Structure 1
Amino acid sequence: MRKYSKIKRIIDFDLTLIATIILMPLIVLLSLMIKFDSKGPILFKQKRIGKNKIPFHIFKFRTMKIETPKDTPTHMLEDPESYITNMGAFLRKTSLDELPQLFNILKGDMSLIGPRPALWNQYDLIEERDKYGANNIEPGLTGWAQVNGRDELPIDVKAQLDGEYVSKRSLTFDFKVLVKTFLRVLKSEGVKEGKISSKER
């Protein structure tokens, strides 16, 4: 497993560096569009839980107005649409808001594939993941739970899927997750805005 982790890190870094170089014109263009669309910074920085539950700051393109409540998942807001900017709606639908996380991967905070990093205050999700060892590996830009429901999943199911990834992870399985991610992004599947019931949390 140690050998796999080393190979995975090399692949993560090489693929991400290539992707960052190729996508840099798009990153610059989106940055300019965000700046002209609404007040506030281009990037959104948020405290998340990394490998071994060590906190780090994740980067995203800002998709919400600066008056949005902090450290609250979008699906937990009463009226999320009122906080999302015009540009933000497009970025979320296409998942382009996640592009700045390429820099998190280059830094070593994240991997291309792994459990999505929980917010520092998502204690229920963190606790559930502890049952499966899902907090002991690098979080990912995408993961097994994301291609099997994403925001639609109850927390216990999400944690179980993260645990399934931990038990099955390999380069072959990572490739499977990556392919399924591209298919879901193309279809804009699994994104859920608006507050969900306590049963679904």
Structure 2
Amino acid sequence: MIRTIDFLAAFFGLLLLFPVLIVVTMIGLFDTGSPIFVQERVGRNKKPFKLVKFRTMSVDTRSVASHLASTTSITKLGNFLRKTKIDELPQLINVMKGEMSLVGPRPNLFNQSELIKEREGLGVYDVLPGITGLAQVQNIDMSTPELLAKTDKQMIDTLTLKNYFKYILMTAAGSGKGDAMKK
């Protein structure tokens, strides 16, 4: 049932937000020259997939977890996109493809070995990664791997349709600030 909701929400979200996606893409061309950011992430059963987002950092920023990247890498447009969470909208494509859910553990990079170990031990990779979830609305990011993995597991074990919509609404209403960044 959640897969059907994910698909329909992503489809109609992309359809309704298409003008926003086009405008952000056009502005992004002037901001960085490369408005779309694609990065390999760890998916369900540790299968790699290509996560799609709007670029919020300069093109030459190295591929590390956000909490390890410097805030000086974030562009002016990127700062706005992160605050409004508009940078996450292209992930609706990942949701439509069945690589992600709207709600689930945030997908990490393959070089985040400590987080992978913690999540593996708790079975977090048994579910689809998500755009938002319990950790995101509680401002728990990837800089605290053990706490994040435990919170992901708690979300997985208690995920009901009510909580699914609750996390989406909390995210849309502004809960969660995203991953911490180095100053």
Classify the TM-score, shorter chain.
Answer: over 0.9
Q: 2:180 maps to which residue?
A: 192
Aligned partner of residue 51 in structure 2, secondary structure: strand
Q: 1:76 maps to which residue?
A: 68
Q: 1:32 maps to which residue?
A: 26
Question: Are the equivalent residues in 2 in contact too, given 1:48–1:58 (CA < 8 A)?
Answer: yes
How many positions carry a matched residue from both structures? 183
Match of 2:150 among 149, 156, 160: 160
Shift of 1:152: 7.7
| TM-score, reference length from structure 2 | 0.93
Equivalent runs, 1:164-183 vs 2, <5 Å: 164-183=154-173
Flag the 1:102–1:168 CA change in 2: closer, same or farther, 3 A: same
Shift of 1:164: 0.4
Aligned partner of residue 145 in structure 1, secondary structure: helix
Aligned partner of residue 49 in structure 2, secondary structure: strand
- For 1:180 and 1:86, the matched residues in 2 are separated by 25
Aligned partner of residue 53 in structure 2, secondary structure: strand
Shift of 1:123: 1.3
Shift of 1:153: 6.0
Unpaired runs of at least 5, structure 1: 1-6, 196-201
Shift of 1:177: 1.4
Residues 88-135 of structure 1, C-alpha deviations (whole Å, 9 max, x = no match): 111111111111101000111000100000111111111111222111
Matched letter for residue 18 of structure 2? M
Match of 1:45 among 38, 41, 60: 38
Q: 1:85 maps to which residue?
A: 75
Shift of 1:190: 4.7
Q: 2:129 maps to which residue?
A: 139
Matched letter for residue 57 of structure 1? K
Matched letter for residue 122 of structure 1? Q
Match of 1:64 among 52, 57, 66: 57
Aligned partner of residue 126 in structure 2, secondary structure: coil
Question: Are the equivalent residues in 2 in contact too, given 1:115–1:134 (CA < 8 A)?
Answer: yes
Match of 1:110 among 88, 92, 100: 100
Residues 22-46 of structure 1, C-alpha deviations (whole Å, 9 max, x = no match): 100000000000001223x221111
Matched letter for residue 13 of structure 1? F
Shift of 1:183: 2.5
Unpaired runs of at least 5, structure 2: none
Task: Judge which range, 150-159 or 53-62, deviates more.
Answer: 150-159
